[in-house]
Copies of this chain bind each other. A is one copy, B any other.
Amino acid sequence: MPTVSDRGRIMPDSPIRKLGPLAEKAKEMGRKVYHLNIGQPDLPTPPEALNAIKNIDRTILEYSPSEGIRSFREKLAKYYHKFDIDVTADDIIITTGGSEAVTFAFMSCLDPGDEIIVPEPAYANYEAFAIVAGAKIKSVISDIEDGFALPPVEEFEKLITPKTKGIMICNPNNPTGYLYTQEEMNKIRDLVKKYDLYLFSDEVYREFCYTGAPYISAFHLEDIEQNVVLIDSVSKRYSECGLRIGALITKNKEVKQNVMKFCQARLSAPLIGQIAAEASLDADKSYMLNNYNEYVNRRKFLIDGLNRIDGVYSPIPMGAFYTVARLPVDNADKFCAWMLSDFEYENQTLFLAPASGFYTVPNSGIDQVRIAYVLKKEDLAVCLKILEEALIVYPGSKVRVQASTVAGA
């Protein structure tokens, strides 16, 4: 048998999906599994999108242009204008999900051996896409004690080498829910300008900012317009992850030219997805507001609930719909697997994402999990109860150890 690629071998399993088989087994045993592992909202897709799909009056489902359907790109440009992001349809390339946007950004800007600096914990698949491009992630660790604020600029500068080509951020942040401040974004801007780096900015959660603090887009930063590659997706905004529609936005003509080659090679993004995503831009204001309010409530309820559990700590996320919490466990990877394979509370259990997979530095976030608040409050209440019970009986629980120490005293 021929050998498989090293690239594939070194590619980490997705921390979001790798425990999937255990979850399947739990379900086969008749257990209800609450999915807090994945950013799959339970909120409805806008009726505008569903109707667009139902009313498709084509007889042939053809390729669309490699850069995406023009009318959709024009409408997207108008959408960005509402956030003071000054782009035109020509700056926007439609991709097969935000995933493809990140992949094509890396493929177009980075060569094997090139380095990018990423504040961690970070969306796990950035690492996967960097491996695909042969690029290396150098990470600066943000601290749960600081609520995962941007690490000091000096930490970034220490990592800069002749191979450094860019900085990748996610704002509002997945997995931490952190929202970068104007001051922090200015610091990033200064670094980008000083070292002439790319700024890859994943802003798919822009609609979900909860503290009144402004959302600062990379395109709001002065003098680095040519350096910015913005990543977007309709998946989370409109609860339509299954469409696989994202966008890559750049004003840099050379980057665009490179990206288009990758786009042409894969022919086109999904047609029906583009039609539905375009229609989603007409979603009623009340649709967006209802979803927003729902997340506001869930966030408050979840974070309060987490911090009330013995030994658990979650900073207060300012955006997106995730939090990274610290659990009183020896090892969150083991704990998450154990919850699926060995634990049940009233025949229910939880699927959480171990946070270790959101760090590239070994042994980071070892007692942390990412929790997506994508379920309704009543479900989150059950989830909190399950977590609390699990932490009492889990063999590697520090709560349990403390409890038995007390009992033994």
Chain A residues 101 to 123 lying within 8 A of chain B, measured CB to CB, are 103, 107-112, 114
Using known A-B contacts A9-B258, A44-B60, A266-B97, determine if residue A2 contacts B242 with beta carbons closer than 8 Å: no
A17 contacts chain B at the CB level, 8 A cutoff: yes
Residues in B neighbouring A258, C-beta threshold 8 A: 4-5, 8-9, 11
CA A196 to CA B197, docked complex, whole Å? 44
Q: Please, which residue of chain B has its CB at the minimum distance from the CB of A108?
A: B8
Q: Chain B's nearest CB lies how many Å from the CB of A250? A: 10
Known contacts A56-B53, A59-B45, A61-B243; decide if A128 and B261 are in contact (CB<8 Å). yes
**Residue A309 at the chain B interface, CB threshold 8 Å:** no
Closest to A264 in B: B14
* Pair A244/B261 contact, Cβ less than 8 Å: no
Q: Which of A245-260 contact B (CB under 8 A)?
A: 252, 254-255, 257-259
Which of A5, A44, A49, A132 has the largest count of B CB atoms less than 10 A from its CB?
A5
Contact (Cβ within 8 A) A8 B261: yes
Decide: A61 and B8 in contact? CB cutoff 8 A. Answer: no
In the complex, per-residue mask of A256-295: 1 if CB is within 8 Å of any chain B CB, else 0: 0111011011111111110010000000000000000000
For residue A298, CB closer than 8 A to chain B, the reply is no
Distance A166 CA – B4 CA, assembled complex (angstroms): 11
Q: Does A86 contact B (CB under 8 A)?
A: no
Contact partners of A252 in chain B: CB under 8 A: 1
Sorted nearest first, the 5 A-B pairs with minimum C-beta distance are: A242-B271, A8-B258, A128-B265, A14-B264, A61-B242
Could you give 28 example pairs across A and B, Cβ below 8 Å? A1-B196, A2-B165, A2-B198, A4-B257, A5-B110, A5-B133, A5-B258, A7-B133, A8-B257, A13-B264, A14-B66, A17-B264, A38-B63, A53-B56, A54-B56, A61-B243, A96-B96, A99-B267, A112-B112, A132-B132, A134-B134, A241-B267, A242-B272, A243-B272, A244-B244, A244-B267, A270-B273, A273-B273
Between A107, A196, A261, the greatest number of chain B beta carbons within 10 A of the residue's beta carbon is seen for A261
Mask, A292-331, CB within 8 Å of B = 1, is 0000000000000000000000000000000000000000
CA distance A240 to B61 in the complex (A): 5
Give the CA-CA distance A9 to B254 in the complex, in Å: 9
The reply to whether A265 and B5 form a contact with Cβ atoms under 8 Å apart is: no
Tell me how many chains of this kind the complex includes: 2
Residues of B contacting A341 in the complex (Cβ-Cβ under 8 angstroms): none
* Residue of B whose beta carbon sits closest to that of A41: B60
In the assembled complex, the Cα of A400 lies from the Cα of B62 at a distance in Å of 37
What residue of chain B has the Cβ atom nearest to residue A273's Cβ? B270
A133 and B9 alpha carbons, distance in the complex (Å): 14
A2 touches B99 (CB 8 A): no
A252 to B267, CA, bound (A): 28
Known A-B contacts A14-B265, A112-B134; the reply to A63 vs B242 at CB < 8 A is yes
The answer to whether A226 has its CB under 8 Å from any CB of chain B is: yes
**What is the distance, in angstroms, from A151's C-beta to the closest C-beta of chain B?**
22
Complex: A6 Cα to B12 Cα, angstroms: 26
Query: Chain B contacts of A13 at CB under 8 A?
Result: 261, 264
Chain B residue with Cβ nearest A242 = B271
On whether the beta carbons of B273 and A227 are closer than 8 Å, the reply is no
B5 touches A108 (CB 8 A): yes
